[in-house]
């Protein structure tokens, strides 16, 4: 039987720019975010391309050192603040949370739209900084370089990040209230999909952490403009204070990037093994534990910044502790696979990618959290490889997996499975070829953030650059076939996989109000037997 699309749904209920720019429908807002972050992803990717081109040879031949500094700064700023942080929550979270909990919308729909405008306003400032000459401080903006010596556009970038932070706060606030207040009858906390738990934990971090980076950036701006002296040792200030404040947000922020991705993986693993997630409660609580402990480990970024050794020891210990809940999740996903009827469709391939690469990224995090070893590895390519395994290998894999998995719900069409599998394979190969050599380079002592390097590092660098070009193909491919499928893909049924979860019980694409009738939930999460 060929599935039929509903006559009216959220996509065709109204047309024209206005109907999108003034929408309060969480699904449309999710798509607005999708457009914005895809754009910024490719901007960030363009910088990465030039970086990898430069590093193909040991000499600094393509760009000057100054230009190179700007390239890695703008790459980091774009990717972290304008792509990774909003990627899963603002696109998939926005689209799915109300559907998953059986609500008509998020608690504050207009605030939701406002957050998208704030996001783009912030991006505008940052883009202005980029086109008018760039910034060169690194995405970490360490003082006093950023406040006193850099003569690039620190201010505009800072203002951009400050503004964008509020969109992140508003999204987090909206999700917290939505998850508390808008659940359908019978949808109690322990029937929530793990995706929702992960987003709840993420929202806590967004709400607690982001204001701190906001005030920090504000102080940085004042320092730069009127020389308050708070971070400038020449005026009695303390540059390490900046590092504390910065990492108090930015370590938890790495969990803003990875927790929602973990939520996606839980959904994928359940759907494609056709089993309930092993140890549901543990996985749910692990999200909360990560959010809480994630706030206590920022000092592992300051091992070499003159932080006291004793503080370092405590931060090192806590960093090991925070790895436990992450490991719990990995073990539970793996245990779920055991004796499951695993089907290897594209989203599941991405989920496998996530589990493997996140594990490598997490374990190498433990290397870095060992104080002695970190002295050797800090500021080398080992660190670069570590966080790319988590942020690119982990988060982007899960994001792509989720995008494929929910694409039928979002667009009402199936993507082409063959091409998609090929794409997943290319991404996996390209990713590892790009970043695995960087572990070796870092271990051998190649420092990060230089545009030239000794000859003996060339082979590994060429491998990395080659991998990057493969990875680029892997990212462009899905964009092409997903857009193609919006018009030519086969019509999707309301539950094509099939999977549990309320989002699959309404039509694809869903109506504006999500459900014809608000569902009443009488089953547990991932209860495959009860629902067929």
Partner 1 sequence: MAENHAMTPHALAHHFDSLDQQREAGTLGMWVFLITEIMFFGGLFLTYILYRSKFPHEFVAGSHALDIRLGAFNTAVLIGSSLTMALAVYYSQVGSRRLLVTYLTLTMLLGLVFLGVKGIEYTEKFEHHHFPGADFQWEDPAQAPALDGNPGAGKVDGRHVEMFYWIYFAMTGLHALHMIIGAGLIAVLIVLAVRGRFTAEYHMPVEITGLYWHFVDIVWIFLFPLLYLIGRHE
Q: Residues near 85 by Cβ (< 8 Å), separated by ≥ 6?
A: 168, 253, 256, 257
Closest residue to bound ligand HEM by CB: 365
Binder of partner 1 out of 56, 208, 282, 342 (CB under 8 A):
208
Binder of partner 1 out of 16, 18, 151, 236 (CB under 8 A):
236
| φ, ψ of residue 491 in degrees (nearest 5) | -60, 135
Compute the least distance from the CB of residue 170 to partner 1, in Å.
9
Of 361 and 402, CB closest to Cu ion = 361
Q: Which residues on neighbouring strands pair with residue 447, listed in sequence order?
A: 380
- 519 touching partner 1, by CB under 8 A: no
* Dist CA 205 CA 194 (whole Å): 17
Binder of partner 1 out of 77, 135, 214, 441 (CB under 8 A):
214
Q: Which residues on neighbouring strands pair with residue 413, listed in sequence order?
A: 491
What token pair was written down for 464?
Answer: 């990395």
The answer to whether 244 touches 298, Cβ cutoff 8 Å, is yes
What token pair was written down for 496?
Answer: 């094509």
**Interacting stretch for partner 1, rule CB under 8 A, among 211-219, 358-366, 384-392, 497-505?**
211-219
- 238 touching partner 1, by CB under 8 A: yes
Binder of partner 1 out of 50, 56, 124, 241 (CB under 8 A):
241
- 451 touching ligand HEM, by CB under 6 A: no
Of 219 and 392, CB closest to partner 1 = 219
Of 130 and 369, CB closest to Cu ion = 369
What token pair was written down for 181?
Answer: 């207040």
Binder of partner 1 out of 65, 215, 452, 476 (CB under 8 A):
215
Q: How far is CA 211 from CA 168, 204, 422, in A?
A: 10, 12, 42
Indicate which of ligand HEM, partner 1, Cu ion, none lies near residue 375 (CB less than 5 to 8 Å, by partner kind).
none
- 28 touching Cu ion, by CB under 5 A: no
Q: How far is CA 523 from CA 188, 189, 468, in A?
A: 10, 12, 45
- 48 touching partner 1, by CB under 8 A: no
Binder of partner 1 out of 155, 173, 335, 422 (CB under 8 A):
173
- 210 touching partner 1, by CB under 8 A: yes
Binder of ligand HEM out of 245, 284, 383, 410 (CB under 6 A):
383
User: What number of other Cβ atoms are within 10 A of residue 532's Cβ?
Assistant: 7
- 275 touching Cu ion, by CB under 5 A: no
User: What number of other Cβ atoms are within 10 A of residue 21's Cβ?
Assistant: 12
- 257 touching ligand HEM, by CB under 6 A: yes
Indicate which of Cu ion, ligand HEM, partner 1, none lies near residue 140 (CB less than 5 to 8 Å, by partner kind).
ligand HEM
The percent of the chain in helix, strand and coil, each rounded to the nearest 5, is: 70, 0, 25
Q: Which residues on neighbouring strands pair with residue 380, listed in sequence order?
A: 447
- 355 touching ligand HEM, by CB under 6 A: no
* Dist CA 498 CA 255 (whole Å): 30
Burial of 83 (0-12, 13-18, 19+ CB in 10 A): buried
Indicate which of Cu ion, ligand HEM, partner 1, none lies near residue 210 (CB less than 5 to 8 Å, by partner kind).
partner 1
Indicate which of partner 1, ligand HEM, Cu ion, none lies near residue 245 (CB less than 5 to 8 Å, by partner kind).
partner 1
Q: What is the DSSP string of 409-426?
A: HHHSB---HHHHHHHHHH
Mark 292-331 with x for binding to ligand HEM (rule: CB under 6 A) and - for no binding: --------xx-----------------x--xx--x-----
The answer to whether 508 touches 494, Cβ cutoff 8 Å, is yes
Q: What is the DSSP string of 470-495?
A: HHHHHHHHHHHHHHHHHHHSPBP-SS
Instruction: Name the helix (H) or strand (E) containing 400.
Output: helix 397-411
Binder of ligand HEM out of 368, 414, 460, 502 (CB under 6 A):
368
Place of tokens 């020891």: 313
Compute the least distance from the CB of residue 252 to partner 1, in Å.
11
* Dist CA 75 CA 68 (whole Å): 11
Indicate which of Cu ion, partner 1, ligand HEM, none lies near residue 56 (CB less than 5 to 8 Å, by partner kind).
none
* Dist CA 232 CA 238 (whole Å): 6
Peptide bond into 498 cis (omega under 30): yes
**Interacting stretch for partner 1, rule CB under 8 A, among 149-157, 225-233, 263-271, 482-490?**
225-233
Binder of Cu ion out of 251, 329, 386, 413 (CB under 5 A):
251
Binder of ligand HEM out of 10, 350, 387, 453 (CB under 6 A):
387
- 28 touching ligand HEM, by CB under 6 A: no
- 103 touching partner 1, by CB under 8 A: yes
Of 368 and 446, CB closest to ligand HEM = 368
Residues that bind ligand HEM (CB under 6 A): 140, 254, 257-258, 300-301, 319, 322-323, 326, 362, 365-366, 368-369, 374, 377-378, 383, 386-387, 390-391
């Amino acid at each position: 039987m060929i599935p039929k699309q509903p006559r009216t749904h959220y996509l065709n209920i109204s047309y024209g720019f206005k109907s999108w720019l003034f929408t309060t429908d969480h699904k449309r807002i999710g798509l607005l975010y999708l457009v914005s972050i895809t754009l910024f992803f490719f901007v960030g990717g363009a910088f990465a391309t030039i970086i990898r081109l430069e590093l193909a040879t040991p000499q600094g031949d393509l760009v000057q050192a100054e230009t190179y500094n700007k390239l890695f700064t703008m790459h980091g700023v774009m990717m972290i603040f304008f792509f990774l942080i909003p990627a899963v929550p603002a696109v998939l979270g926005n689209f799915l949370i109300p559907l998953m909990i059986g609500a008509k919308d998020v608690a504050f729909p207009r605030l939701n739209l406002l957050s998208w405008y704030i996001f783009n306003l912030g991006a505008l400032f940052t883009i202005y900084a980029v086109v008018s000459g760039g910034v060169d401080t690194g995405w970490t903006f360490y003082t006093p370089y950023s406040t006193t010596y850099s003569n690039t556009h620190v201010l505009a970038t800072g203002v951009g990040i400050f503004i964008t932070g509020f969109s992140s706060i508003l999204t987090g606030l909206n999700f917290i209230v939505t998850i508390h207040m808008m659940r359908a009858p019978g949808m109690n906390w322990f029937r929530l999909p793990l995706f929702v738990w992960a987003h709840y934990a993420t929202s806590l971090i967004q709400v607690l952490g982001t204001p701190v980076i906001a005030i920090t950036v504000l102080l940085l701006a004042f320092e730069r403009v009127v020389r308050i002296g708070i971070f400038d040792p020449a005026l009695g200030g303390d540059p390490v204070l900046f590092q504390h404040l910065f990492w108090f947000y930015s370590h938890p922020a790495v969990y803003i990037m990875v927790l929602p991705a973990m939520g996606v993986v839980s959904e994928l693993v359940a759907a494609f093994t056709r089993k309930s997630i092993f140890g549901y409660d543990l996985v749910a609580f692990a999200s909360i534990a990560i959010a809480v402990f994630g706030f206590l480990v920022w000092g592992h970024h300051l091992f070499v910044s003159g932080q006291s050794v004793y503080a370092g020891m405590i931060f090192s210990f806590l960093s090991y502790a925070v790895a436990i809940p992450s490991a719990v999740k990995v073990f539970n996903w793996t245990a779920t696979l055991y004796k499951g009827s695993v089907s290897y469709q594209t989203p599941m391939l991405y989920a496998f990618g996530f589990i493997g690469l996140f594990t490598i990224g997490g374990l190498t995090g433990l290397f870095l959290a060992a104080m002695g070893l970190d002295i050797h590895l800090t500021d080398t390519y080992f660190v670069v490889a570590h966080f790319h395994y988590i942020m690119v290998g982990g988060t982007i894999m899960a994001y792509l997996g989720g995008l494929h998995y929910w694409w039928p719900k979002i667009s009402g069409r199936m993507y082409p499975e063959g091409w998609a599998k090929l794409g997943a394979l290319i991404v996996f190969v390209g990713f590892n070829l790009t970043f695995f050599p960087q572990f070796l380079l870092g271990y051998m002592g190649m420092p990060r953030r230089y545009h030239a390097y000794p000859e003996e590092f060339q082979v590994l660098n060429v491998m990395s650059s080659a991998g990057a070009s493969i990875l680029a193909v892997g990212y462009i491919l899905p964009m092409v076939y997903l857009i193609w499928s919006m018009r030519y893909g086969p019509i999707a049924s309301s539950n094509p996989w099939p999977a549990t979860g309320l989002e699959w019980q309404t039509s694809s694409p869903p109506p504006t109000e999500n459900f014809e009738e608000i569902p009443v939930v009488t089953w547990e999460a991932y209860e495959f037997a009860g629902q067929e």
